[in-house]
Amino acid sequence: MSSAARSSSPELLSGPVAICVDRPLLALDRPFTYELPAELGAGVGSLVQVPFHGRAIRGWVLGSTDDIPARMLAVRKVVSPVRFFDAGLLSVLQWVSERYVAPLASVISRAVPPRVVGEEVAGVRGGAVAPLAMPSPTPLLHGPPAVLGRYTGGERLLSAVTEGGGNFVVRPAPGDEVAVAVEAVAAALAAGRSAVVLVPEADPFPATAVALQHAFGDLVAMFLGGDKRARYRMWLDIGAGMYRVVIGTRPAVFAPVGGLGLLYVAREGHTQHREERSPYYHVRDVAIERARAAGGVCVMSAVCPSLESSMVDHVEVAHVGRAWPPVEVVKPGVEGRAPRLVRALRDARRAFLYEPMRGYGMARVCKACSEPAACAACRGPLRSEEGQVRCTVCGAEGRCANCGASTFGLARGGVERVEEWARGVASVPVTRLGPKDTPRPPGEAEVLVGGLESLKDLGPVGVDLVGILNADAALRRPGMSSRERALSAWMEAAAWARVDGRVIVQTNRPNDPAVQALVTGRPERFARAEIPRLAEAGFPPGIPVFRVMGNTELEDALAELRPRTMLATALGDETVCLLALEPGDVAMFGRAVRELAERGIVTRVEAEPHL
């Protein structure tokens, strides 16, 4: 990556250059050589126009090449004065292309926001990754660290951020999530390095982002949301070296900021850190690679770190001693109302009740014909939500599969039902946060009821009581990572309680490793039990997984590559294969898959699918 000593005018190239053509297809995913005339004034990262199979298309200059074909066509023109990457950033983009078996063209397109040509003309030109133009702020770190000084590995993290590298998994104590991020970024800035902070969501605006902007003001680029023009303007300004801290969602991991000392992944286990379109990269992995390439630190922060992060070579950073509220485990009781929770709710001034199930209840039986309730359209289960009964599978209005009637006997349970009974118990007002409400912490005298969509980065919350309902249902959900997601949600909810507050979890499985991890505040207890379980299923965490689609020859072709695990499903003429690979085999696999794509056997590759 660039250093402060780097010249501000980007290097010009001429002669044979490697071009990545803007055709995001695995079958064309290799560099093509063209002659670059010196007078075009182009270089690494330039967007140019080249002739390709008789047509004029765009492509990016990757660098000089010795791979000279018998017949070499010339680059026609330069399309933009902007350099979209430099050699350092290109190496990260190429790593993404290889690791996720994705065309380099789609990686580049995803790493750079859509162009707004007007901003290019008006703006700064050249140098995708700028040298640091901003001065280091001085009045930032005085005295010993405020938060990380109380963490094992905290001093080690701060010194690495100052002048070293490596991976750190940080487990913030309740209420510390934001402060830890601010302190780590402050250390990078004080050492003259820059930082990229990756948050999973832009809405609601994460408390971590608010605090960083408050702490570092004009040094901070908010690369979060905004319209197309504003996003592109911000990206150009970052590339011009106008900022020292970049805060953003996934694409910010490629932000063209120089002098990187810290890549900080907030809530690293969050599902939104995975890109849902090609290239299906995970921000955590890219951040680790970019930090490695830049000689900086990657921090993975989460109250409940992911199993994947536990497989990465890292230093653990966690609060010294116990910094976790007491967690009481009780049996659910009638309709999920344990007497102890009911009593605690009566006394609580500020409380949060976490209920993962939506709605008011599930339809059990048809009131007209007494048959078990099922959707008339697809036989799926029916749920009552916001006063309406609908199918949870196809979304159709609830009609009995047997007689077409639309009144059902309900098995009550879900966030609306919890709101109802909590109103009858609590001595302060009860509010339910629906999926469309803006997440917020409970007010001064309030009980808040909500599901997964309530658990956002809201800063320190500190309520008297957190109730975790329906824990057993969350554990029973299908999917290989459902147990991990359940625990992560419980721990985020529990972290809303004051350390001297109360957490009450309702479960019939007190000895389940996930429940034990919640009780102790130690997710590693869960990891020790869960990792062997996933390994036995063929998909241990931290192992590259791909979903590959293709024709009827696909299964045999992929079996020849000897994947660690392969599950194949045929759907008519299409075959879908789910594979787990040994990490060292990804490059070989990628070459083979690109060849199979050229032969039409592979049609699509999706990396790291949610399992």
Chain residues in the site for Zn ion (CB under 5 A): 366, 368-369, 375, 377-378, 380, 391, 393-394, 396, 400, 402-403, 405
1 vs 401, which CB is nearer to Zn ion? Answer: 401
Query: What's the closest the beta carbon of residue 365 comes to Zn ion, in angstroms?
Result: 9
Contact call for residues 545 and 608 (beta carbons, < 8 A): yes
26 vs 366, which CB is nearer to Zn ion? Answer: 366
Structure tokens at 85: 């990457």
Which residues are within 8 A (CB) of 325 and not within 5 positions of it... i.e. 6 or more apart?
174, 466, 494, 497, 498, 499, 500, 501, 502, 503
Query: What's the closest the beta carbon of residue 393 comes to Zn ion, in angstroms?
Result: 5
Could you tell me which of 5, 7, 63 has the C-alpha nearest to residue 32? 63
374 vs 558, which CB is nearer to Zn ion? Answer: 374
Query: What's the closest the beta carbon of residue 411 comes to Zn ion, in angstroms?
Result: 16
Query: What's the closest the beta carbon of residue 198 comes to Zn ion, in angstroms?
Result: 38
Query: What's the closest the beta carbon of residue 319 comes to Zn ion, in angstroms?
Result: 47
Say how many Å lie between the first and final Cα of the chain, rounded: 35
Could you tell me which of 258, 245, 254 has the C-alpha nearest to residue 182? 245
405 vs 473, which CB is nearer to Zn ion? Answer: 405
Query: What's the closest the beta carbon of residue 110 comes to Zn ion, in angstroms?
Result: 35
- Alpha-carbon distance of 58 to 527, in angstroms, equals 47
Which residues are within 8 A (CB) of 609 and not within 5 positions of it... i.e. 6 or more apart?
280, 545, 546, 547, 578
DSSP 8-state code for residue 254: G
Burial class (CB in 10 A: 0-12, 13-18, 19+), 146: middle
Query: What's the closest the beta carbon of residue 359 comes to Zn ion, in angstroms?
Result: 15
399 vs 547, which CB is nearer to Zn ion? Answer: 399
25 vs 393, which CB is nearer to Zn ion? Answer: 393
78 vs 405, which CB is nearer to Zn ion? Answer: 405
399 vs 456, which CB is nearer to Zn ion? Answer: 399
405 vs 428, which CB is nearer to Zn ion? Answer: 405
Query: What's the closest the beta carbon of residue 611 comes to Zn ion, in angstroms?
Result: 25
Pairing state between β 430-432 and 446-450: parallel
Detail the DSSP E strand segments found in 312-397.
315-319, 327-330, 350-354, 361-366, 382-385, 388-391
What's CA 425's distance to the chain center, in Å?
38
304 vs 400, which CB is nearer to Zn ion? Answer: 400
- Alpha-carbon distance of 429 to 570, in angstroms, equals 54
Query: What's the closest the beta carbon of residue 381 comes to Zn ion, in angstroms?
Result: 8
For residue 21, the SS3 value is strand
For residue 343, the SS3 value is helix
DSSP 8-state code for residue 589: H
362 vs 580, which CB is nearer to Zn ion? Answer: 362
Q: What angle do CA 489, 493, 495 make, to 5 degrees?
A: 115
Query: What's the closest the beta carbon of residue 402 comes to Zn ion, in angstroms?
Result: 4
Query: What's the closest the beta carbon of residue 398 comes to Zn ion, in angstroms?
Result: 9
- Alpha-carbon distance of 378 to 401, in angstroms, equals 8
Contact call for residues 495 and 459 (beta carbons, < 8 A): no
Query: What's the closest the beta carbon of residue 32 comes to Zn ion, in angstroms?
Result: 50
219 vs 400, which CB is nearer to Zn ion? Answer: 400
Q: How many Cα neighbours within 13 Å face the side chain of 309?
A: 32
Query: What's the closest the beta carbon of residue 31 comes to Zn ion, in angstroms?
Result: 49
51 vs 395, which CB is nearer to Zn ion? Answer: 395
The amino acid at residue 479 is G
Query: What's the closest the beta carbon of residue 376 comes to Zn ion, in angstroms?
Result: 8
Concatenated DSSP letters of 456-497: ---S---EEEEEE--HHHHHH-SSTTHHHHHHHHHHHHHTTE
Burial class (CB in 10 A: 0-12, 13-18, 19+), 66: exposed
Q: Which residue's entry shows tokens 């007497």?
A: 339
77 vs 379, which CB is nearer to Zn ion? Answer: 379
Could you tell me which of 552, 599, 602 has the C-alpha nearest to residue 573? 552
- Alpha-carbon distance of 535 to 311, in angstroms, equals 13
